[in-house]
Amino acid sequence: MIVAAFLLPAALYAQQAEAPAAKPNPHMESHIGNLTGHADAGAQLYYRYCWGCHGARGDGNGENAQYLNPMPRNFVAAIFKCRSTPTGTLPLDSDLYNTLGRGFNFTNMPSWITLTSQERANLVAFIKTFSPRWVTEKPGDPIQVPPEPKLTIESIKHGGELFQKLECWKCHGQEGRGDGPSASTLTDSNDQPIRPYNFTSTNRSKCGRTNSELYRIFMTGLDGTPMPSFADVVKPEDAWDLVHYLRTLQYNNPSPELTLWESTAEGRAIVAAKRVENTNTGSGVKP
Amino acid sequence: MERSFSKEVREGSARLGTALLFSVVLLALFLADCRPAKAIPAFARKYGMPCSACHEAWPKLSPFGQAFKDNGYQLGNDRDAPIFQQPAYWPIALRITPNWHFETANHVIVDSGEGSTLANVKTQGFDYTGMDMLTAGTLARNFSFLLVPSSDETGAFHFESANLRFSNLLGSSWFNIKVGKFELDNLQSEKRILTLSANGGFYQNYHFQPWVAPGVPSGLYVSGIGDNQLGVEWLGHSKNDRTRVSAALLSPTDGNPDFQSGIGGAAGRTYDAFFTASQAFEAGSLGLQRFGGFAYIGHASTYPEYTQFNTGGGPIGGTGIGNEPYYRVGLLGMWYLKKLDVTTMWFYGHDSVYLGTNTPTNLGSTGLPDGAHAPSWNGALIETHYTFNPQMIFVNRYELIRMSQQALDSNPSDLGNIDALTFGFRYYPFINTRAGFAFHNEYSVVWQRKILVSPATGLPIDLTSNSLMFGLDFAF
């Protein structure tokens, strides 16, 4: 009984004490197809190429970070924009690998396609050593992207209706120029101002250039930004209609969607009204 | 815990290494004569990336840096145009290398009381190199420029580079045009060489011209594929820069303005051409390997068509005629074994018999000396780098040149043969996104066979030159 008197408080204390916080694993691996990346090899690459922006601790506070907008990714928080996994979950290794190869336009993050496949895999493994999330969580299950249906005028028009109904225009603006009424109020996970994507500027979105990649963006959301996931409110076929409509907003970049849209009188008139002709600026920036 | 323990060991070793290096540098400080080369901290400031991103060890480019250059100094993230830069950003960088150096040459013909004699000449002291002012970047999207006013150590300026580049024409990375004065698309860049001394700061194979006879150098032309040239270049490359091809049409002026030839005479009314092609492939954990070939097809005039009447008979630029051909071809491999990389090159050169014997063609074949031949030679290079980390690189290079056909039957068979050995290391005490600095340490020795004639015996003799250099190489 005396022993129990000593043991019981200890047992109660052990129950009540918090579990120690998970720590990052310095020996992470990455798996992309047949590639296996190793963190120790990735470390050498990171401290050659990446630390100036992403910081020696991977927290996005590199010596140059204060001058950059948007700020470099914080690998400690492990919140990533471009994923094939549902919002709030970790990306797949292949998502990070593809991001390295693609880079981010309109940021200081270049494409690292010149690195070898093994080097990029090694970098992915090392990036995963900065956050304990990679120890305590598994990446989400990748969303399924159904085959793209046939492009039709009805699809484009329905996509336009969805653009209104889902209130995409509040951030992206009625013409997709990123100048919606809410645009100036938006901040990212670093509490930094962030502008919505301007569809008229380029046909290259943050997470790629293809229709599938555009589809994936609004089904997974861009974590760390105000762009949510619409997976719970948009049916897959409707999502494809929205993709087709969004391509018609990119009137400076030829696409099958834009061509089909401009083959109608209505589409032709709408696009013509957006264009600013005879500027002769030669600046390379298309108005 | 395991990670922090190994980190402590690494830090301790790094401190010891640093202390040793500083000791060496304190013994061997400042000033010399060496060849400036290309590293542009302005790009680091523009994009916020450390020098180590584009340079394995500056100025040597990494594959990422080579791709940046091949894309017209653009990262391709739609932020390359100058409109996206802060107005205060100025795309200019400066590079110069104060150093101490020691030079020897064993058979220098010097004046003596009875005419001339041979002397073993040694010089040493503090010195400094010439300076490069590098300004480069984009004028607009896919319009880029490079302008390099460059001075020698006396402050006399010339333009090392002055060109415009039109990149990604028709939306394709296979269609890029550069016009002006530029470095040839050498697979092994001499402008980014990691050695700087008087004997080691250039590639022998890139500049070699065969001797006419002992004591008689080639005198009708000067041309080197290591020299920047004037012309127009097309370059095409794959998106990941693994495949690269280029073709250039050049004036035969060795980069000199006003249609002057490389030796200051009249350049010919003709054009030279330069071609390169290379392919890189991944070799798993070893890294990126590259192999390729190049060819320079040149023409040099042998006499001017017109000379100036009222200025003492000097040749009128651009009126050189009697053009004779020469060519340089080679194969090159760049092999990476993780931190060790090995560059191997085979080189072949051939001059016409007129160029090889300093004979103007207006004299016809009867003007050729007895036993004249078109000279040819083979060369080789093996250069190794061990990049311990972005802050430390060890360099070693051996070059050789062997004549396979002398210009004259009477020449020694080994006249002009060269062996050159260079080794050293560079330590970069800091790598940041603003500026660059390296402690540069190098020794180089060059043996040249039978190129001089002894004033005492009249026989051909060798020349051996040595350079020892300790420099502070900085760029801002």
pLDDT bucket at A101, cuts 50 / 70 / 90: very high
Question: What's the gap in Å between the CA of A209 and the closest CA on chain B?
Answer: 13
Indicate the fold that domain A29-136 takes in CATH: Cytochrome Bc1 Complex; Chain D, domain 2 (1.10.760)
- Are B77 and A110 in contact (CB < 8 Å)? yes
CA distances from B147 to A74, A115, B144, B174, B324 (A): 38, 29, 10, 24, 32
Q: How many residues does chain A have?
A: 287
Domain ranges of chain B: 31-475
Q: How many CB atoms lie within 10 A of CB B133?
A: 17
Round the average pLDDT of chain A to a whole number and report it.
Answer: 89
Q: Which CATH number fits domain A153-274: 1.10.260, 1.10.8, 1.10.760, 1.10.10?
A: 1.10.760
How many H-runs (helices) and E-runs (strands) does chain A carry?
12, 2
Name chain B contacts of A49, Cβ cutoff 8 Å.
49-50, 52-53, 64
**Model ipTM value:** 0.85
What is the DSSP secondary structure assignment for residue A65, as one 8-state letter? G
Structure tokens at A196: 């919505």
Q: Which of B22, B153, B44 is nearest to B97 (CA)?
A: B153
Render B253-322 in DSSP notation, one character per residue. Answer: TTT-STTB-TTSSBPBSS-EEEEEEEEEEE-GGG-EEEEEEEEEEEEE-SEES-B-TTTTSPBPTT-EES
Mean pLDDT along residues B399-414: 97
Mean pLDDT along residues B12-33: 42
Name chain B contacts of A68, Cβ cutoff 8 Å.
48
Question: What percentage of chain A exceeds 70 in pLDDT?
Answer: 89
Common-topology check for domains A29-136 and A153-274: yes
Distance CA B233, CA B166 (A): 10
Structure tokens at B131: 């300076």
pTM (2 d.p.): 0.86
Question: What's the gap in Å between the CA of B328 and the closest CA on chain A?
Answer: 30
pLDDT bucket at A149, cuts 50 / 70 / 90: very high
Distance CA B190, CA B414 (A): 26
Of A41, A49, A202, the CB nearest to B78: A202
Q: Which of A202, A198, A53, A103 is nearest to B71 (CA)?
A: A103
Rounded (to 5) percent helix, strand, coil in chain B:
15, 50, 40
Single-letter residue type at B90: W
**Bridge pairing between strands B115-128 and A35-38:** unpaired
Q: Give the H/E segment covering residue B473.
A: strand B460-475
B245 pLDDT higher than 70: yes
- Are B77 and A109 in contact (CB < 8 Å)? yes
- Are A48 and B390 in contact (CB < 8 Å)? yes
CA angle B212, B449, B217 (to 5 degrees): 25
Helix ranges (H only) for B28-101 are 41-47, 51-54, 63-70
CA angle B382, B384, B386 (to 5 degrees): 175
Domain ranges of chain A: 29-136, 153-274
Interface A-B: count of C-beta contacts within 8 A:
89
Of A41, A64, A111, the CB nearest to B76: A111
Q: How many CB atoms lie within 10 A of CB B259?
A: 19
pLDDT of residue B13: 47
Question: What's the gap in Å between the CA of B334 and the closest CA on chain A?
Answer: 15
B6 pLDDT higher than 70: no
Distance CA A43, CA A23 (A): 18
> Which of A35, A45, A48, A280 best probes binding to B when mutated, by most B CB atoms within 10 angstroms?
A48
What is the DSSP secondary structure assignment for residue A193, as one 8-state letter? B
pLDDT tens string B348-393: 999 999 999 999 998 888 999 999 999 999 999 999 999 998 899 9
Distance CA B454, CA B37 (A): 36
Q: Determine whether B72 is exposed, middle or buried from the number of CB atoms within 10 Å of its CB (0-12, 13-18, 19+).
A: buried
Q: How many residues does chain B have?
A: 476
Of A48, A201, A282, the CB nearest to B52: A48
Q: How many CB atoms lie within 10 A of CB B61?
A: 19
pLDDT bucket at B117, cuts 50 / 70 / 90: confident
A262 pLDDT higher than 60: yes
Mean pLDDT along residues B307-335: 84
With contact defined as beta carbons under 8 Å apart, do B22 and B176 qualify?
Answer: no
Mean pLDDT along residues A258-276: 91
Question: What's the gap in Å between the CA of A4 and the closest CA on chain B?
Answer: 36
pLDDT of residue B101: 96
pLDDT of residue B76: 87
With contact defined as beta carbons under 8 Å apart, do B226 and B203 qualify?
Answer: yes
Distance CA B375, CA B365 (A): 16
Name chain A contacts of B390, Cβ cutoff 8 Å.
47-48
Name chain B contacts of A284, Cβ cutoff 8 Å.
81, 140-142
pLDDT bucket at A180, cuts 50 / 70 / 90: very high
Distance CA B388, CA B380 (A): 26
pLDDT tens string A217-257: 989 999 999 999 999 999 988 999 999 999 999 998 899 99
Of residues A286 and A133, the one with the higher pLDDT is A133
Strand partners, A214: none
- Are B66 and A114 in contact (CB < 8 Å)? yes
Choice among A121-135, A174-188, B309-323, B326-340 with the minimum mean pLDDT: B309-323
- Are B433 and A64 in contact (CB < 8 Å)? yes
A104 pLDDT higher than 60: yes
Of residues A74 and B32, the one with the higher pLDDT is A74
CA distances from B154 to B128, B262, B469 (A): 10, 21, 19
pLDDT tens string B223-242: 889 999 999 999 999 999 99
- Are A110 and B47 in contact (CB < 8 Å)? yes
CATH architecture of the domain with range B31-475: Beta Barrel (2.40)
Mean pLDDT along residues B414-427: 97
pLDDT of residue A5: 55
Residue of A nearest to B281 (CA): A116
How many H-runs (helices) and E-runs (strands) does chain B carry?
6, 22
- Are B47 and A285 in contact (CB < 8 Å)? no
Name chain A contacts of B58, Cβ cutoff 8 Å.
none
pLDDT of residue B19: 42
Choice among B80-89, B200-209, B465-474 with the minimum mean pLDDT: B80-89
- Are B282 and A117 in contact (CB < 8 Å)? yes
pLDDT of residue B14: 47
Strand partners, B386: B340, B394
pLDDT of residue B285: 85
Distance CA A100, CA A119 (A): 10
